[in-house]
Chains A and B, each alone.
Chain A
Amino acid sequence: KNQVEQSPQSLIILEGKNCTLQCNYTVSPFSNLRWYKQDTGRGPVSLTIMTFSENTKSNGRYTATLDADTKQSSLHITASQLSDSASYICVVTPSGGSYIPTFGRGTSLIVHP
């Protein structure tokens, strides 16, 4: 069964600090890996999307990395802001078949002033 595991489950940091969120997956072969940001009470919004051949993708202060050999991805947030407080979800889509994605449970990030 395809699985996506995220760590830590929750994280509290001070405004201005950097942080890194982890994602380990068993989906293989995979088509793409995405990171979503979900604000409380809202739907998820895509931050980055990487195919298996990409190692890194940036979106402003968000940088995602991918190691397809170890089946690991990370999301690095630089100079955190209060608005970064949200849940961050890792999603992996298999290649071939029905392309049904597997969602991680998310990391809840709280940024304190």
Chain B
Amino acid sequence: DAEITQSPRHKITETGRQVTLACHQTWNHNNMFWYRQDLGHGLRLIHYSYGVQDTNKGEVSDGYSVSRSNTEDLPLTLESAASSQTSVYFCASSVLAGGPEDTQYFGPGTRLTVL
């Protein structure tokens, strides 16, 4: 069955270290998204991509970067981890943007702790 996976599921790192979170989907979806979820906030968009070589900044992109070299993967990199980036990170993908078929399918999440 097609799916979307994230790795690692849990990560503890130190302030200042570079961290990369992986996201892989087998649906062949063009659109992929990264969100963070914190208590008291809804899901907030970090970066998104509408196809290979396409990347865009979301609402809370500072300190994060992404690259899209193929359809299946959108890794999220924290260039220099900060304690404020302790959060649960979700990757999602969708077939279309907007319209009645615009349903995002979410991965299981990665819990990141920055000490």
Contacts and interface: CB of A to CB of B under 8 A. Distances in A.
Given A44-B90, A99-B98, 20 more contacts: A4-B42, A31-B99, A31-B102, A34-B103, A42-B109, A43-B107, A44-B43, A44-B106, A46-B104, A89-B42, A89-B43, A93-B98, A96-B98, A98-B97, A99-B102, A100-B48, A100-B58, A102-B42, A103-B42, A103-B44
What band does the interface of chain A fall in when counting residues whose beta carbon is under 8 Å from B?
Answer: 20 to 34
A45 B105 CA distance: 7
Highest count of chain A CB atoms <10 Å: which of B98, B103, B107: B98
User: DSSP majority for the B interface?
Assistant: loop
Interface of A: 4, 31-32, 34, 41-46, 49, 51, 89, 93, 95-96, 98-106
Interface of B: 40-45, 48, 56, 58, 90, 92, 97-100, 102-109
B98 A49 contact: no
Nearest to B101: A49
Contacts of B108: 42-43
